[in-house]
Amino acid sequence: MGGAFLAAALLARLGGRIGLPTIPLFILAGILLGPHTPGIVLLSDPHDLEMLSALGLVLLLFYLGLEFHLDDLKTGGRRMALAGGAYLLLNVGAGLGFGFALGWGVSEALVLAGVLGISSSAIVTKVLVDLGRIGNPETKPILGIIVVEDVFLALYLAALQPILSGADSLSTAVMDAGKAFGFLLLLALAARFGTKVIGRLINTPDDELLVISFLGAAVFLAGVSEWFGVADAIGAFMVGLMLGSTTSGERIRKLVHPLRDAFGAIFFFGFGLSIDPGDLPTVLWPVLAAVAVTLAMNVLAGLAAARIYDFGPGPAANISTTLLARGEFALILATMAAAAGLDERLSPFIAGYVLLLAVLGPLVAGRSQLLARVLPSNEPRPVRL
């Protein structure tokens, strides 16, 4: 555990001197010190860090919820739904088409639709924090798209599970999806109408008690969410959404920072542990093709979101590049596909695709101004007489 922290810190310090973001360096530390690479092996089984990695994801999404104010959701709900729907339509649709084009099978195509279609909430959050863009105008639609993706994710997983397991009962699939949606609705109602009560329960002048309280609430509700078929990180996001609007919200944002950064690093390090570089050459060309498709769809989705929100080329480029990375959800799908006995090429393909975008995403996001130069402007051209 100590070696994981130190290795991630060392690589991040070296990379920081040449302007590299921390996320791919944390992942690289996991690859170099994992069981699939010659040399020093800190952890032979990636599952040894499973709980700590899960905690890192929970805290990243909890922080994201703290930054996403309920007022933004009330005033911009329609535009958020439009932007999120456009993003999913373009990316999930392209992923499904790409899956069928590979010819690996129908179940495999459904898995690839989710892999190519859903952004990494953890990496998106980290990119926004690292680049200092939390307060930017385009961050609201970015967070809105993430929320729409997360709602879709819960329903998608509930619908996909019986298909991959070979279940032929439509009623079981509908029941699972209904349970997940009902729990999400309950959390949304609590965030909308229970803020004052929650604020009184969480409020305390003692920082130690406040940390224990919000950490316990985030982790507990994340576990309950998972039991209802909703991704654990979504439950943590909803807790952040509730607490961010309370009188203790500003203090919680400051107190959660070191926890978020420390365990977030372990999440990305653990992700690197699961990647076997030896499997990547066998699926190199499909991975490169998938990355090209994702790049194109993200640019189109960024332009669509910019038009919905009346943004110019700069914010459109920031939206396109910030949402580019894929991560934890793709790894969940890889695990489900392996358990279901699907095409054995899926796992190395997903690992290579996620790794490339996890590295490329933060790098491209930091240089989004280059993309902004070539994007069309939403401003009307002057009429020449």
The distance in angstroms from the start CA to the end CA of the chain is 70
- Are the C-beta atoms of 150 and 121 separated by less than 8 Å? yes
- Give the model confidence (pLDDT) of 89-108 as tens digits: 999 999 999 999 999 888 89
Single out the residue of 345, 346, 322, 320 nearest to residue 332, CA to CA: 346
For the chain, which ranges sit under pLDDT 50?
Answer: 380-383, 385
Interatomic CA distance for residues 57 and 172, integer angstroms: 29
Topology given in CATH for the domain delimited by 1-373: Na+/H+ antiporter like fold (1.20.1530)
- pLDDT in the model for residue 381: 46
Q: How far apart are CA 118 and CA 349, in angstroms?
A: 16
pLDDT of residue 173: 64
Global pTM value: 0.72
- pLDDT at site 185: 81
Q: What pLDDT does 290 receive? A: 95
Alpha-helix residue ranges (DSSP H) falling in the chain: 2-16, 22-32, 50-67, 70-102, 106-117, 121-130, 139-165, 170-193, 195-202, 207-227, 232-244, 249-273, 284-308, 313-322, 328-339, 346-365, 368-372
